Amino acid sequence: MAPVQVILILAVLVHVFDLQILVSAATVTRDLFVVNENLAPDGFSRSTVVGDSFQLNVTDLLTDSSMNRSTSIHWHGLFQKTTNYVDGVAFVSQCPIVPNNSFLYNFTVPDQAGTFWYHSHLSVQYCDGLRGPFVIYDDAHDRSLYGYDIDDDSTVITIGDWYHDNSLVLFAAKGPQVPVSTLINGLGRSTLNSTTPLAVVKVDGNLIAKQTVDLIVLYPGQRYSFILLADQDPSKTYGIRALYALLELLVDTLRIPLSSGDPNGTVQQNPIIPLNESELVPLLDPAPPEGVNPFVVNITLGLIGHAAFSMNDVQWMDPPVPVLLQIISGAQTPQSLLPSGSVYTLPPNQTIEITLVNPMGGAPHPFHLHGHAFSVVKPAGGPSNYVNPVRRDVAAVAANDITTIRFVTDNPGPWMLHWYV
């Protein structure tokens, strides 16, 4: 058997469920039937409490031959310590689930609470709607810490791009694809009552010192938990606008009053306070991983031709067999399965420092590390911070900029580091 180690796998990912309750005690057991429906995604959320065990049986009932019929489900943000085999990455931790077959995702989440999400991790299939929020509550701790009143399914907000063509058509077209609309909780328009400034308290499931802002720049895969103080006129409603969640959120996500008023009146424009990632501070253990001589990896995002992205000049290719299965059997090494330069073998229990470089123009590019949370010691557009940097699992690299992260290799297995583009 191969020695315990962390395998870092580089990749670029271009970017209605029927749940039947079987039993609910110490273990949360669900059947998830993945089917084709002529519907917009409904943003269904599944909430649990910290320490729960999960048995999530996914059955593939996809029949539409114009779309990907195989699938896999990734539980985004969950570390999956000792259970890398249910991380849900097709061709890395498992074979894809083929039509009329099932796969049981059986795992425990002993020490994570917050907002996570599940989604297909096969090619760009999640763009077709196979995604949803996955919330783990630590009510007693969080309520006493921050003093809020309501935190349940009614306070979960999802934002996502929506296309009228399926993902295979979009993928074949190559190049950036502009979404037809942006959905909030699976709908084209959504409102909340009495919106006020947002007191951000969690970032990707990690507690932070409360930060009050008016605007949040949200990249694919990121999650923010915030407290909304409902102290305004309840007879008014206020819209949440998210125009092109991927490309234009920064310039056009504003709280717009929808209530009627004097058509000849003037509008008072108050200063907007945006969230600044470099000002976010972890609430617990704020210092990043230390190390006099950290293991250093430099990764550069590139473009091959007009539509194919690369990392360190290497383009992702699905291996013929899942990487984890070959590691366990000892039949092949990850390096023999994947393109040269896309696999890094990292030393166990060591501080790793990765600098991600984006030499291109255009929009920022977010990246996600599986199996770990990392400290953002140099955020996009911000200064270096080795004292109390924010900790999360998705960060972005701005155009012609770098982002540097640190984490500890305390979770053995093959873990993917990938960009969303």
Return all residues near 143 (Cβ < 8 A) that are at least 6 apart: 151
Check pLDDT > 50 for residue 46: yes
Q: What is the mean pLDDT of residues 361-386?
A: 93
CB 214 within 8 A of CB 200: no
User: Residue 305 has what pLDDT?
Assistant: 67
Q: How many helices (H) and strands (E) does the chain have?
A: 5, 27
Residues 401, 301: Cα–Cα separation, whole Å: 11
Distance of CA 298 to the CA centre of its chain: 22
Six-digit token string for 133: 């929020």
DSSP state of 399: T
Q: Which of 171-180, 238-247, 252-261, 308-317 has the lowest mean pLDDT?
A: 252-261
User: What are the backbone dihedrals phi and psi of residue 71, each rounded to the nearest 5 degrees, phi first?
Assistant: -160, 175
Which bin fits 413, alpha (ψ -120 to 50), beta or left (φ > 0)?
A: left
User: Residue 394 has what pLDDT?
Assistant: 97
Six-digit token string for 85: 């085999």
What's the chain's average pLDDT? 78
Q: Quote the Cα angle for 363-365-371, to 5°.
A: 165
Distance of CA 193 to the CA centre of its chain: 27
CB 282 within 8 A of CB 206: yes
Check pLDDT > 50 for residue 54: yes
Q: What is the mean pLDDT of residues 254-265?
A: 42
Q: Which three-class secondary structure state does DSSP give residue 153? A: helix
Check pLDDT > 70 for residue 23: no
Residues 334, 323: Cα–Cα separation, whole Å: 6
Return all residues near 279 (Cβ < 8 A) that are at least 6 apart: 211
Distance of CA 238 to the CA centre of its chain: 27
Query: What percent of the chain lies above the pLDDT cut of 70?
Result: 74
Q: Which helix (H) or strand (E) holds 412?
A: none
User: Residue 36 has what pLDDT?
Assistant: 53
DSSP state of 335: H
Q: Which three-class secondary structure state does DSSP give residue 95? A: coil
Q: Which of 71-75, 277-281, 360-364, 384-388 has the lowest mean pLDDT?
A: 360-364
Give the pLDDT confidence of 67-119 residue by residue, as tens digits. 889 999 999 999 999 999 999 999 999 999 999 999 999 999 998 998 999 99
At 397, the amino acid letter reads V
Q: Quote the Cα angle for 89-91-97, to 5°.
A: 75
Residues in the chain: 421
Rg of the chain, C-alpha, whole Å: 21
Of 48 and 364, the structure prediction assigns the larger pLDDT to: 364
Q: What is the mean pLDDT of residues 300-323?
A: 83
What domains lie within the chain, and their CATH numbers?
Answer: 14-138 (2.60.40.420), 295-420 (2.60.40.420)
DSSP state of 125: G
User: Residue 368 has what pLDDT?
Assistant: 96
Q: Which of 122-136, 184-198, 307-321, 359-373 has the lowest mean pLDDT?
A: 184-198
Check pLDDT > 50 for residue 192: no
Nearest Cα neighbor of 356 from 337, 379, 390 is: 379
Beta strands at 181-184 and 131-137: parallel, antiparallel or unpaired? unpaired
Q: Which three-class secondary structure state does DSSP give residue 170? A: helix
Six-digit token string for 51: 């320490």
User: Residue 14 has what pLDDT?
Assistant: 39
Q: What is the mean pLDDT of residues 18-31?
A: 38
Which bin fits 82, alpha (ψ -120 to 50), beta or left (φ > 0)?
A: left
Q: Which helix (H) or strand (E) holds 140?
A: helix 139-146
Q: Which of 17-21, 78-82, 239-243 has the highest mean pLDDT?
A: 78-82
Residues 203, 116: Cα–Cα separation, whole Å: 10
pLDDT band at 420 (very low <50, low <70, confident <90, very high): confident
Check pLDDT > 90 for residue 128: no
Of 234 and 253, the structure prediction assigns the larger pLDDT to: 234
Q: Is 76 exposed, middle or buried (0-12, 13-18, 19+ CB in 10 A)?
A: buried
Greatest extent of the chain over all pairs of C-alpha atoms, in Å: 76
User: What are the backbone dihedrals phi and psi of residue 168, each rounded to the nearest 5 degrees, phi first?
Assistant: -65, -40
Q: Which helix (H) or strand (E) holds 169?
A: helix 167-173
Q: What is the mean pLDDT of residues 186-205?
A: 71
